Structure 1
Amino acid sequence: MSTVLDKASLLLAAIACAAAAWAVLHYSGEWFFPAVTLIALISLYLDNRRLRSILKEHGISPSKK
């Protein structure tokens, strides 16, 4: 593809992402930040569980020293 076409497609992708972000923030209203915070906390908890299980598989104690 040409450089101009690459730049144009990148610009269109950026516009689409900005429009999607605006729509999510606009239509979710006051529930956006509590929902995102809850999703972040759940994902951190699940990742912590996954990493602890990997440590246990390798014989390393995941508890604090």
Structure 2
Amino acid sequence: MNWIGDKIALLATGVVCAAGAWAILHYSGKWFFPAVTVIGVLLLYRDNQRLRTLLKENGIDPKRKLSSD
């Protein structure tokens, strides 16, 4: 693909993403921000649990405080 085709594909992708973002914000109305906040907190909690499990599997206590030495 040449550089003009790449530019057109990038522009088209941007338009599709912008239209999708507009549609989600428009049709979800006042519930968008509370829903995204709850989903974000749940995802952070799940990631924290995954990282704690990984630490335990490698023999590191996840509750241990790091020394500042």
TM-score (norm 2): 0.90
Match of 2:61 in 1: 61
**Gap regions ≥5 residues in structure 1:** none
RMSD: 0.8
**Gap regions ≥5 residues in structure 2:** none
Report sequence identity in percent: 58
Which runs of structure 2 are paired with 1:35-54 in the superposition (5 Å)?
35-54=35-54
TM-score (norm 1): 0.95
- Pairs aligned (count): 65
Match of 2:28 in 1: 28
Q: State the shift of 1:2 in Å.
A: 1.1
SS state at 1:11 partner: helix
Q: State the shift of 1:64 in Å.
A: 4.4
Divergent runs of 4+, >3 A: none
Report the AA paired with residue 58 of structure 1. Answer: N
Report the AA paired with residue 36 of structure 2. Answer: V
Q: 2:64 & 2:23 partners in 1: Cα distance?
A: 43
Structure with the largest fraction of helix = 1
